[in-house]
């Protein structure tokens, strides 16, 4: 990051000599910060324009040659190519505005390891390609040829340095905020987020330094020019406004605790009737979540995994077994033992103890084509009478359930919230806790749809979910989180907002 400081010093010296470019450059940085307030395709287009304009302005400031139009076009293309690494702090926010079909999102999740490997390879490939063409492209602005040595490794080092300092600031900020109260905590939250903004500026300056040939700089120390100082002052004010809005908790008045697989801590084998009843006594959750799979005879069994081991240890696929084969099968987990049950048996037990359910329908390629219709035929009326709901990662199943029984509340389980919100006839979303963000939750609420976050098992993630407006959490530790939420203070929820804002810029 020290190269970023050196670059900024020489840049301000050049800006003093080019007031028209100084004003443009300053305004572009101000708009870069303001762009974070927008959403949708407008944000993506605006961000691309701002990056390209910054590149061109900086090139004209440092260059001593006016390139031809065809060279400018090539420069723009290389600038877009370099966004694979220079735009990392903004990339996830941009991705969240891109509409991706649900089928593709599911395919990404099903093959997430291969997808991550492909993304990493593409990232390195784009950096390598950029390093191969950047010297010649940027060199059209200079009469003297620029040569960069080991640019690829320097880019990776810069990325690593930025991630390290970001994580360091987060750790310091979290520790300070957790041990402070009231206004002191709020001021520290603002300070840490401001330092992150400064780090982002220095990162971008260091990126420019690499981009323009990794050249040596004037050793004279220049003062910060007036336009640049005003630019960063305005950007800081914008950031303060952004921070203030981000740190205001958006609590839902009726926050739900949902027992994941019907369990509460290690109180029994998940997805079994004894555990359901025990959790009802100890926790009395708003909902108890469970998993069901279709059997070979078209019925449904309460189980999470697609494979089941028999007494000899040999595994068989659940959907190749009948309900009669599965009922009474003894399963063990974490020192507990219980028997599998059919969904009818589980449903009856839940209704007897007045426990509402959220049922996740698990699917695979061997399920019957009429799974949704059969499920609604067998259970929909009873579920509707007792306020039960259903959700699934298979959007087509949810669409078919909704088509078969419009009265039954249906939700879509998102394995990650990176892309834009999927459209469809659903009543709520169940989103994964790592990628939850305020923008998605607000968009869902605007559509009158609730959002539940899974699987939230600790204080930190519960704070985040509650503070940014989620309607509830699906958890294995319901009693622990319920007690915490009863005693949580305004400072606790502010900390949750801080953690979310730091991580997502949303």
For the cut 80, the answer to whether the pLDDT of residue 390 exceeds it is: yes
Which pLDDT score is estimated for 368? 66
Q: Is residue 172 part of a domain?
A: yes
186 and 261 co-located in one domain:
no
The pLDDT of 199-210, averaged and rounded, is 84
How does pLDDT run across 151-169, given as a tens digit for each residue? Answer: 888 889 998 999 899 999 9
Q: Residue 79: helix, strand or coil by DSSP? A: helix
The pLDDT of 113-117, averaged and rounded, is 87
212 and 262 co-located in one domain:
no
State the DSSP code for 432.
Answer: E
CA–CA distance, 351 with 388 (Å, rounded to integer): 10
Which pLDDT score is estimated for 214? 53
The pLDDT of 450-460, averaged and rounded, is 94
**Which of 292-296, 367-371, 429-433 is predicted least confidently?**
367-371
- Looking at 217, 246, 275, the residue that finishes a domain is 246
Q: Is residue 312 part of a domain?
A: no
**Which of 63-67, 369-373, 414-418, 446-450 is predicted least confidently?**
414-418
151 and 38 co-located in one domain:
yes
**Which of 15-19, 200-204, 450-454 is predicted least confidently?**
15-19
**Which of 67-71, 214-218, 412-416, 486-490 is predicted least confidently?**
214-218
**Which of 45-54, 255-264, 305-314, 317-326 is predicted least confidently?**
305-314
Which range marks the domain in which residue 100 is found? 2-246
Q: Is residue 262 part of a domain?
A: yes
The pLDDT of 102-110, averaged and rounded, is 77
Which pLDDT score is estimated for 188? 87
271 and 129 co-located in one domain:
no
Q: Is residue 300 part of a domain?
A: no
Mean of per-residue pLDDT scores for the chain: 84
Q: Are 276 and 262 in contact (CB under 8 A)?
A: yes
To which residue do tokens 């025990």 refer?
A: 278
CA–CA distance, 134 with 130 (Å, rounded to integer): 6
Cβ-proximal residues to 403 (8 Å cutoff; 6+ apart), any chain:
372
Q: Measure Cα distances from 102 to 54, 92, 393, 421 in Å.
A: 35, 18, 10, 9
Which pLDDT score is estimated for 221? 45
198 and 218 co-located in one domain:
yes
How does pLDDT run across 7-32, given as a tens digit for each residue? Answer: 777 777 777 677 777 777 777 777 77
378 and 231 co-located in one domain:
no
- Other C-beta atoms closer than 10 Å to the C-beta of 392 total 23
- The percentage of residues in the chain with a pLDDT greater than 90, rounded to a whole number, is 34
Which pLDDT score is estimated for 7? 75
Q: Is residue 204 part of a domain?
A: yes
Q: Residue 271: give its domain's CATH number.
A: 3.20.20.190
Domain count, the chain: 2
Task: Indicate the pTM of the whole model.
Answer: 0.84
Which pLDDT score is estimated for 219? 46
Which pLDDT score is estimated for 59? 84
How does pLDDT run across 258-302, given as a tens digit for each residue? Answer: 999 999 998 999 999 999 999 999 999 999 999 999 998 889 999
């Amino acid at each position: 990051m020290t190269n970023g400081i050196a670059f900024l010093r020489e840049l301000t010296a050049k800006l003093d000599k080019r007031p028209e470019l100084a004003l443009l450059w300053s305004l572009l940085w101000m708009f870069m910060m303001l762009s974070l307030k927008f959403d949708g395709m407008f944000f993506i287009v605006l961000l691309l324009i701002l990056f390209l304009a910054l590149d061109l302005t900086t090139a004209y400031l440092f260059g001593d040659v006016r390139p031809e139009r065809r060279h400018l076009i090539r420069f723009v293309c290389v600038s877009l190519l370099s966004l694979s690494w220079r735009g990392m702090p903004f990339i996830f926010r941009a991705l969240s505005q891109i509409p991706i079909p649900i089928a593709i999102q599911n395919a990404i999740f099903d093959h997430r390891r291969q997808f991550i490997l492909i993304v990493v390879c593409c990232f390195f490939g784009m950096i390598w390609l950029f390093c191969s063409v950047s010297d010649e492209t940027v060199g059209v602005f200079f009469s003297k040829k620029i040569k960069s040595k080991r640019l690829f490794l320097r880019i990776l080092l810069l990325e690593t340095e930025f991630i390290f300092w970001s994580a360091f600031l987060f750790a310091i900020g979290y520790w300070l905020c957790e041990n402070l109260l009231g206004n002191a905590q709020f001021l520290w939250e603002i300070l840490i987020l401001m330092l992150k903004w400064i780090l982002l500026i220095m990162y971008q300056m260091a990126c420019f330094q690499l981009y323009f040939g990794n050249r040596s700089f004037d050793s004279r120390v220049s003062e910060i020019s007036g336009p640049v100082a005003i630019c960063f002052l305005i950007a800081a004010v914008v950031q303060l406004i952004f921070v203030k809005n981000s740190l205001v908790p958006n609590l839902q008045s009726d926050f739900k605790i949902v027992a994941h697989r019907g369990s509460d801590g290690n109180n029994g084998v998940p997805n079994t009737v004894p555990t359901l009843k025990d959790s009802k006594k100890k926790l009395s959750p708003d909902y108890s979540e469970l998993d069901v799979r279709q059997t070979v005879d078209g019925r449904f069994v309460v189980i999470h995994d697609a494979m089941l081991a028999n007494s000899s240890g040999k595994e068989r696929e659940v959907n190749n077994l009948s309900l009669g084969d599965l009922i009474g099968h003894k399963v063990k987990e974490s020192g507990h033992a219980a028997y599998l049950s059919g969904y009818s048996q589980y449903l009856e037990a839940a209704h007897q103890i007045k426990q509402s359910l959220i049922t996740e329908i698990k699917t695979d390629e061997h399920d019957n084509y009429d799974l949704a219709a059969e499920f609604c035929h067998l259970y929909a009326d009873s579920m509707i009478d007792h306020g039960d709901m259903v959700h699934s990662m298979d959007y087509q199943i949810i669409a078919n359930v909704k088509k078969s029984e419009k009265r039954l509340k249906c939700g879509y389980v998102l394995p990650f919230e990176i892309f834009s919100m999927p459209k469809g006839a659903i009543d709520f979303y169940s989103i994964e806790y790592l990628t939850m963000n305020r923008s998605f939750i607000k968009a869902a609420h605007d559509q009158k749809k609730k959002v539940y976050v899974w699987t939230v098992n600790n204080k930190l993630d519960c704070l985040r979910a509650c503070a940014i407006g989620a309607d509830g959490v699906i958890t294995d530790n319901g009693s622990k989180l319920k007690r915490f939420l009863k005693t949580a203070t305004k400072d606790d929820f502010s900390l949750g907002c801080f953690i979310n804002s730091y991580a997502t810029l949303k």
